[in-house]
Every structure is written in structure tokens, then in C-alpha cells.
Amino acid sequence: MNTPADPVVLIQTNKGNIKVKIFLKDAPTTSANFLELVGRGFYNGLIFHRYEPGFCLQGGCPQGTGFGGSGKTIPLEIKSHLKHDAAGVLAMARSNDPNSASSQFYFTLGKADFLDGSYAVFGRIVEGMDVLMNLRKDDKMINVSVLEPAKAQ
């Protein structure tokens, strides 16, 4: 599923740091979109605008409302082996249109297999699950950056 070549993204929040392995090889379109936004500093300073206990924490809306995006959308990229099988899975949020994902993403806070096949999974937390579990609505992403894979091992 993930390889040493897959990058790791560091999400520095007001409650601590999270490291996320991005499945670049398994979800190249979704991953490239996310990494491009990270590289531009798009997520720096944004809040997590949605918290659903036991389900998900969502962020990536520049308006902080859940209705904003980056200005471009990407097609839905589903891989049957990438599943919402535990807490810490990273996937793209979207509207009812399957091809409407833009900049909003979510972390699962538990197993959410009912989302499999409908939302693009493209990463998983490798460090900082305790931080994820303490984040709530209106908590902030201070800085989001790509780490070298060697530094994240």
C-alpha cells in the first residue's frame, strides 16, 4: 500500500504535530493535488471546520465554513485496497458530485467503511494519533509542509 518513496506531510496544529504518509503511488491524482496545495502554503493558518465525534475531523476550507475550495476540482480516485478501516485515515471531502474534491480533506476518527468506494483515501497518520484525537472544530493548522521520507521514518 505505501512505499518508502511516499512522502510524509507534517501538519503542525495548535495542539501538536501529526505526520501523515501520503499514498502518492496508489492515489497519484489526489495525492498530487494535496501536495501541490501543501507546497503553496494553502493550508497554513486554516481551521478544522468540522468535528464529528467517532467519525471525522475535516479541514481545508479557506472560508472555514465547509463551502470553500482551492478553485479547481479533481476526479474521484478510488482504489479498492485503500479503505476507511481505522482512525487516522486521510481522504478527500467532496460535495454530492463525485468529481468535486478540491482542497477539503478529513481524517477518520474510527472505522468508517461505509465511505469505501465513494471517497478517495490517499494517506494515513504515521505519528500523532493522540493529537488527532484531541483536535476539535476551530482548532488550527499552523503550518503544513512536506518532510523528506528519510526524516519521517
**pTM for this model (two decimals):** 0.93
> pLDDT at position 5, please?
80
Cα 52 to Cα 28, 56, 133, 136, 137, distances in angstroms: 28, 5, 11, 9, 9
Lateral strand order in the sheet of 48-52 = 48-52, 56-59, 105-108, 89-92, 121-127, 16-22, 8-13, 141-147
Answer whether residue 79 is part of any domain.
no
As given in the structure block, the three cell numbers for residue 104 are 477539503
Q: Which of 36, 40, 5 is nearest to 23 (CA)?
A: 5
Q: How confident is the model at residue 128 (pLDDT cuts 50, 70, 90)?
A: very high
**53: CATH:** 2.40.100.10
78 is a domain residue: no
> Does 98 reside within a domain?
yes
Kindly report, residue by residue over 90-106, the tens digit of the pLDDT: 999 999 999 999 999 99
**Does some domain include residue 3?**
no
* Residue 2 within any structural domain of the chain: no
Q: Predicted confidence band at 152 (pLDDT cuts at 50, 70, 90)? A: very low
Residue 67: which domain range? Answer: 8-73+84-152
Check: CB of residue 57 under 8 Å from CB of residue 51.
Answer: yes
SS3 35: helix
> Rounded CA gap, 25 and 5, in Å?
8
> How do residues 27-55 score in pLDDT, each as one tens digit?
999 999 999 999 999 999 999 999 999 99
**Mean pLDDT, residues 108-130 taken together:** 98
Residue at 28 is within a domain: yes
Q: How many domains does the chain have?
A: 1
Dihedral pair phi/psi, residue 90, rounded to 5°: -105, 130
